[in-house]
Amino acid sequence: MDDNQESSGGEYEREPAPDSSLLGPGKFWGMYAGEHCAGTEFMIGPLFLGAGASLRDLVIGLLVGNILAVLTWRYLVTPIAMSRRLTLYYQLERIAGGGLVKFYNVVNGVLFCFLAGAMITVSASAVGVPFGVDYEVPKNVFSLGENSFTAIVLAVGLVITVVAAAGYTTVARAANLAAPWMIAVFAAAGIASIGQMEVTSLSQLVDGAYWDQAIAFVAAELEAEGKTPSTFSFWQIVLFGWVCNGAMHLGMADLSIFRFARHASSGWAPAIGMFLGHYMAWIAAGLLLAAQIKLSQDSTANPGLLAWGALGWTGILCVVIAGWTTANPTIYRAGLAFQGVLPGSSRVAMTLVAGTVATLAGAFPALAYELLGFVGKYATVLGPMGAVLFVDHYLMKRFGLRPEIAFASGMQFNVAVLVAWLAPVAVGLYLIFQQGVDATYCVIPAWLACGVLYLVLSKALQPAAEPEGEAV
Amino acid sequence: MNLIAKGIGAIAIAATVVAPLLYVTGGLELDTAKATLLAATFVWFGSCAASAFATPAETPTPSE
């Protein structure tokens, strides 16, 4: 799992990772520390405040949600990864068939592009600050921002795309070097914001009146516009913390990482990413907005301006570097996903395509503002596929069924997987888009439904006697 | 050299957290804290670069 291996698309793509490639827990702790301190953390924290999440709910809810996420990595992903030592894609191909994996790759790649687009928007918001270009959010999701902001997005997207196309080894190294600094800057952002709000005692800090006042300000603004102030409940926060990286743990994308784990204890490594990036950094970024509201009665979640207000040039650098170092691998992975669909295509060309799509997505400023909702939808779509892997690994033989049926029979499209995946996802998306259900509530039910459906459909569709396939 | 660079880097990270803490406790103005953060940033990346340059020189090459 060294940089060269990653940049070459990963070795052992169609075979188990050999013993000689296995890594100790330290490598995983280091990787997860950097991976989850992204530019988007500067966006998500303020969006929590804007959505009306109370500070107490945020502190406790994110604690619970992140613990659940770490447990999922440790007890769901790591055992299967260490047992099979295969990438997600190859393992899925053996169950679902090559054709279905291509379809999954397209979906995966497009969602990666939108995520990278939000990272580009966040970086552009910081680049714009020295030029006096504001990140303003149009009312319509699919409206462009100011021309000057769009130009900055295109420039940032171009640079990130070209670097990603060249391979991200250098960026990965830069990200590793920057990780401790970024974590310290996130902490500094929270501390400086507390000072800006004139919170000078522990009791004031714990009391959280400064946060409540900021929420009241946002609510009053919305009421003045004739809108109902939004709320973000404790359980929404718990679920958001849990499923924020749902595609990685519930969806088993990180099988590709943990297949290199020598010890199961490596499965605890995501804890560092969760509690630094998805706990401390989110709360610190939320405090940035609370301070901005107190100081200038401005509730706009502009990551660049927020960081500038509390940290000056260091904040600008942090937003740009955090956005850049995470958008790069995301575009790179999207390129690999697209390349998987068109095996004859070059990785560079597909990365350029992915970067172009991501940059176009980044040009719509409101998309980044929808990040809280997007993360839930992302997990709703990709997470359930992990249930197929779980059922295939643990339950198929117990129910007298043949695991890895596509590998055994040579089928390209396993209908049981297709229906088991898409049916719960379709219901989830209907509830989200038509009924207004929060996306985070749909992820776990969709995952469970997918697993049960896969088992039932396999029982109904699998031929009675299948020849034993070659074991991995 | 490598150890010195890492030590300086650790001081830079500590300064990144301590500067805003001093601002909260009234020991620093916000602008001074921001300037300290920027200086610490340059020191951190400088120490990383120094460490990267130093490592190959100080790592004994295994004999073939």
Per-residue pLDDT for chain A (472 aa), expressed as one digit of tens each? Answer: 444 444 344 567 788 989 988 988 888 887 888 778 888 888 899 999 999 999 999 999 999 999 999 999 999 999 999 999 998 888 999 999 999 999 998 998 999 899 899 999 999 999 999 898 888 888 787 888 889 999 999 999 999 898 888 876 777 777 778 889 999 999 999 999 999 999 988 899 988 899 999 999 999 998 988 888 888 999 999 999 999 999 999 999 899 889 999 999 999 999 998 999 999 999 999 999 999 999 999 998 889 999 999 999 999 999 998 888 888 888 888 888 888 888 788 888 999 999 999 999 999 988 888 888 899 999 999 999 999 999 999 999 999 999 999 999 989 999 999 999 999 999 999 999 999 999 999 999 999 999 999 999 999 998 765 555 444 4
CA distance B27 to A359: 43
Give the DSSP H/E element, type plus range, for residue B24.
helix B2-24
> In this predicted model, what pLDDT tens digit does every residue of A175-205 receive, in sequence order?
778 889 999 999 999 999 999 999 988 899 9
Please, what is the angle between helix A371-382 and helix A415-433, to 10°? 160
Q: What does the pLDDT read at residue A464?
A: 62
Q: What does the pLDDT read at residue B56?
A: 59
Task: Please state the three-class secondary structure of chain A as a single string.
Answer: CCHHHHHCCCCCCCCCCCHHHCECHHHHHHHHHHHCCCCCHHHHHHHHHHCCCCHHHHHHHHHHHHHHHHHHHHHHHHHHHHHHCCCHHHHHHHHHCHHHHHHHHHHHHHHHHHHHHHHHHHHHHHHHHHHCCCCCCCCCCCCCCCHHHHHHHHHHHHHHHHHHHCCCHHHHHHHHHHHHHHHHHHHHHHHHHHHHCCCCCHHHHHHCHHHHHHHHHHHHHHHHCCCCCCCCCHHHHHHHHHHCCCCCCCCCCCHHHHCCECCHHHHHCHHHHHHHHHHHHHHHHHHHHHHHHHHHCCCCCCHHHHHHHHHCHHHHHHHHHHHHHHHHHHHHHHHHHHHHHCCCCCHHHHHHHHHHHHHHHHCCHHHHHCHHHHHHHHHHHHCCHHHHHHHHHHCCHHHCCCCCHHHHHCCCCCHHHHHHHHHHHHHHHHHHHCCCCCCHHHHHHHHHHHHHHHHHHHHHHCCCCCCCCCCC
Chain B: closest CA distance from residue A117 (Å): 27
Q: What is the C-alpha radius of gyration for chain A, rounded to an integer number of angstroms? A: 22
Could B17 and A188 be called an inter-chain contact, meaning their C-beta atoms sit closer than 8 Å?
yes
Positive or negative, the Cα torsion across A406, A410, A416, A420? positive
Report the residue from A180, A191, A311 with minimal CB separation from B34.
A311
Chain A: closest CA distance from residue B48 (Å): 7
Chain B: closest CA distance from residue A314 (Å): 5
Nearest CA in chain B to A186: B17
Q: What does the pLDDT read at residue A153?
A: 94
Q: A373-376: long-range contacts (C-beta < 8 A, 24 or more apart)?
A: A373/A432, A373/A438, A373/A439, A374/A114, A374/A115, A374/A118, A375/A44, A375/A240, A375/A243, A375/A244, A375/A439, A375/A440, A376/A240, A376/A243, A376/A432, A376/A438, A376/A439, A376/A440, A376/A442, A376/A443
Most B-contacting residue of A311, A313, A318 (CB-CB within 10 A), to test interface: A311
Chain B residues lying within 8 Å of A319, measured CB to CB = none
Nearest CA in chain B to A196: B24
Could B34 and A184 be called an inter-chain contact, meaning their C-beta atoms sit closer than 8 Å?
no
Chain B residues lying within 8 Å of A313, measured CB to CB = 34, 38
Q: What does the pLDDT read at residue B60?
A: 43
Q: What are B's interface residues with A at a Cβ cutoff of 8 A? A: 9, 12-13, 16-17, 19-21, 23-26, 30-31, 33-35, 37-38, 40-41, 44-45, 48, 52
Nearest CA in chain B to A187: B17
Could B16 and A312 be called an inter-chain contact, meaning their C-beta atoms sit closer than 8 Å?
no
Chain B: closest CA distance from residue A432 (Å): 41
> Which of A365, A335, A349, A338 minimizes the C-alpha distance to A150?
A365
Q: What does the pLDDT read at residue B64?
A: 31
In this structure, which amino acid lies at residue A339? Q
Chain A: closest CA distance from residue B32 (Å): 10
